[in-house]
Amino acid sequence: MTSIARTLTLSLGMAAAVIFFAAVGLVFWLFIAQEPERSACFAAAYVLGRATEVNPGDRLTVRPTARLEELKSQSPDLWYVVAYGDVTSEFGRERRPPLPVSLPFVGPSGLSMLKSLDQNSSFCMVVMHTGHVPELVMMIGNAHVRPDQIAMWFILKNLLEISLYAAGYVLIVAIGVFLAARFVARSIERVTKLALAIDPAAPQGSISLDRVPAELKPLATALNRAFDEIHAYIRTQRRFLGNAAHQLRTPLTLLRARVEDVDDPALRVELIHDVRRLTSLVSAMLDLARLQNGTLEKRPIDLATVTRDVLADFSPSALDAGIELSLEHSDEPATMVQGVEAAIRSALANLVGNALIHARGARCIRASLSRGRVSISDDGAGLSPGSECKLIEPFQTGGTTRNSAGLGLSIVQEIMASHGGDLVIASNRGQGTTACLRFPEAASAMPIQRAAELT
């Protein structure tokens, strides 16, 4: 996609160039159209002046230049007189009418159109200031010059002035283009900042049209409409998730009651285990939906207490699997975070349950606490390189077992996102896997820790 500022610069630059050359062409056309004889005389005087040389000793020489010869060939009745003081050089004397001017001539510099003494013809007289006295005087008659020659000689004679005008014009246009591009860029930047200021968790916000330029209001209106549609879609999805989780609770309760009637003890234990995991998953979905909808209030929660309770719940399962559960505290005793206890408990249960089920060869699962974070680590076989991010995606189980829906880590990530935190998974092949829940309190504690290290 082409840059708007670059496109604006090129467009205005091309338009300015066209306007400049059109203005020069208009001036030249008016110069020729209003006074064709004067313009022809001007061009002929330029050619004759370029061919004339005043040598030391006041010797006057008119060189037969290509342009002068061309002028003579297309003007069969051409005549001219070039005078420098008492020295003259004349061409076409037989065609020259009687002149009303005597030589040497003393007068102001410039170009004048004069009539011959018999008033039957006109000619032009050009007095050129040479910086010395006398001045160079040229009288030219019956000159025929084509318009293109007039244009070329006009430009050549006024090349310095035209260049200065062009440079000034280009400078003014460049400044104007730069300011216009900056204005467009700043306007877009202002709209972008307004859009970025909208909370992704609450996209019902809109861009204030009062602070948007008129040219960008259609874009801002379209963005506001898109934000409204996204917010409506998110609300629909959250409402569906909450309703589905709520509707599933009753069938699960009935299913748990019927499982108790199973005669086979081994099968009953397995079914109870599956129903318990499914109930935990549904509860997590319901808590997540309520948390996203803002119906659950965040309160201070002690991560140490919640972690200890979760490990206690999984102790029987760990004992049956021959896996040791342990809890470690760091030197930082503060483990309070703001959140929903049921949701955080569900997230930790998912991590511990995943470690028990998926950590092949693990003999120990360790929970580590520090300010604003809790980590669940195992000493199992670890994960293959690059598979950590895939496990967070829905319905990804890592290929270690078929007894999982693959929704646990995805829900954990959603729970952490709703708390303003994140889920980080790190694994080394053959050395185990670590899943860490980091809350906003962990980021706020970093400056304190750095200050402590410096002291």
Q: What is the CATH number of the domain that holds 122?
A: 3.30.450
Q: 392: which 2 tokens?
A: 């967070």
Residue 48, Cβ density class (10 Å: 0-12 exposed, 13-18 middle, ≥19 buried): buried
375 and 425 assigned to the same domain: yes
Number of domains in the chain: 3
Kindly calculate the radius of gyration of the chain based on its CA atoms and give it in whole angstroms. Answer: 47
307 and 248 assigned to the same domain: no
pLDDT of residue 86: 81
Mean pLDDT by 10 residues, the chain (455 residues): 65 78 72 68 83 77 88 89 87 88 79 84 82 76 80 72 80 80 78 73 65 76 80 75 69 76 78 74 67 68 89 85 83 74 85 83 88 88 66 48 51 83 85 88 54 41
In a domain, 170, yes or no: no
Task: Collect all residues with Cβ–Cβ distance below 8 Å to 119 and sequence separation of at least 6.
Answer: none
360 and 431 assigned to the same domain: yes
pLDDT of residue 437: 92
Print the SS3 string covering 250-290: HHHHHHHHHHCCCCCHHHHHHHHHHHHHHHHHHHHHHHHHH
Domain limit, last residue, from 247, 281, 296:
296
In a domain, 24, yes or no: no
Residues 41 and 47: their CA atoms lie apart, in Å, by 10
Parent domain of 242: 201-296
pLDDT of residue 375: 92
310 and 364 assigned to the same domain: yes
pLDDT of residue 289: 65
Please tell me whether residue 298 adopts helix, strand or coil conformation: coil
Domain limit, last residue, from 296, 318, 342:
296
pLDDT of residue 57: 67
Terminal Cα-to-Cα distance of the chain (whole angstroms): 52
Question: Contact at 8 Å (CB) between 328 and 303?
Answer: no
Residues 283 and 275: their CA atoms lie apart, in Å, by 12
Residues 284 and 306: their CA atoms lie apart, in Å, by 15
253 and 388 assigned to the same domain: no
In a domain, 151, yes or no: yes
In a domain, 265, yes or no: yes
* Nearest residue to 256 (alpha-carbon basis) of 286, 278, 285: 278
Print the SS3 string covering 317-379: HHHHHCCEEEEEECCCCCCEEEECHHHHHHHHHHHHHHHHHHCCCCCEEEEEEECCEEEEEEC
Domain limit, last residue, from 135, 157, 179:
157
106 and 153 assigned to the same domain: yes
Q: 271: which 2 tokens?
A: 């079914």
CB-CB neighbours of 393 under 10 Å: 11
Residues 436 and 300: their CA atoms lie apart, in Å, by 19
331 and 448 assigned to the same domain: yes
402 and 320 assigned to the same domain: yes
In a domain, 256, yes or no: yes
pLDDT of residue 284: 65
pLDDT of residue 285: 67
In a domain, 174, yes or no: no
Q: 76: which 2 tokens?
A: 């069969």
Q: 152: which 2 tokens?
A: 């070329």
pLDDT of residue 205: 62
- Return the DSSP state at 52: E
Torsion of CA 352, 353, 359, 360, to 10 degrees: 140
